[in-house]
């Protein structure tokens, strides 16, 4: 158990819908990262927040957005969902904000878009 929690564990929704994924980092970690993992691809970095502020952006679509709240939990919002958005979404946390230290991953949310 890494100490990072994610909810929900599974999510099934239809195309065009909007969903929100939630992540709580390990106690003491200020950075939160979001990753997408599809069957045929590796972990794709989406976005990083540090202490409430966006720090780095990866391959995040404009239909996706995220935020980190004062209590350091983070939410990833996915809208206008497409079939290709079906994937495992992982949240990770780390102590530092530089983006280069060891990251601890949550159990993931499996999103299925039908």
Partner 1 sequence: GQNIDQPTEMTATEGAIVQINCTYQTSGFNGLFWYQQHAAEAPTFLSYNVLDGLEEKGRFSSFLSRSKGYSYLLLKELQMKDSASYLCAVRAHLNTGFQKLVFGTGTRLLVSP
> How far is residue 112's CA from residue 86's CA, in Å, rounded to a whole number?
5
Give yes or no for residue 99 binding partner 1 (CB under 8 A): yes
Half-sphere exposure of 90 (CA within 13 A, CB side): 16
Q: Are 31 and 99 in contact (CB under 8 A)?
A: yes
Task: Give the chain's length.
Answer: 114
Q: Which of 20, 22, 52, 107 binds partner 1 (CB under 8 A)?
A: 107
Our CB check for partner 1 shows the closer of 72 and 103 to be 103
95 binds partner 1 (CB under 8 A): no
Opening angle at CA 34, ends 100 and 15, nearest 5 = 160
Residues 36-55 that bind partner 1 (CB under 8 A): 41-45, 48, 55
Residues that bind partner 1 (CB under 8 A): 2, 4, 35, 41-45, 48, 55-56, 58, 88, 90, 97-100, 102-108, 110
């Amino acid at each position: 158990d890494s100490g990072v929690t994610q909810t929900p564990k599974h999510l099934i929704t239809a195309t065009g819908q909007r969903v929100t994924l939630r992540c709580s980092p390990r106690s003491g970690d200020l950075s939160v990262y979001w990753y997408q993992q599809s069957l045929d691809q590796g972990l794709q970095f989406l976005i990083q927040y540090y202490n409430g502020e966006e720090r780095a952006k990866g391959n995040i679509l404009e239909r996706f957005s995220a935020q980190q709240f004062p209590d350091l939990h983070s939410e990833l919002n996915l809208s206008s969902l497409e079939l290709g958005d079906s994937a495992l979404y992982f949240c990770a946390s780390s102590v530092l904000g530089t983006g280069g230290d060891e990251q601890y991953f949550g159990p993931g949310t499996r999103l299925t878009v039908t």
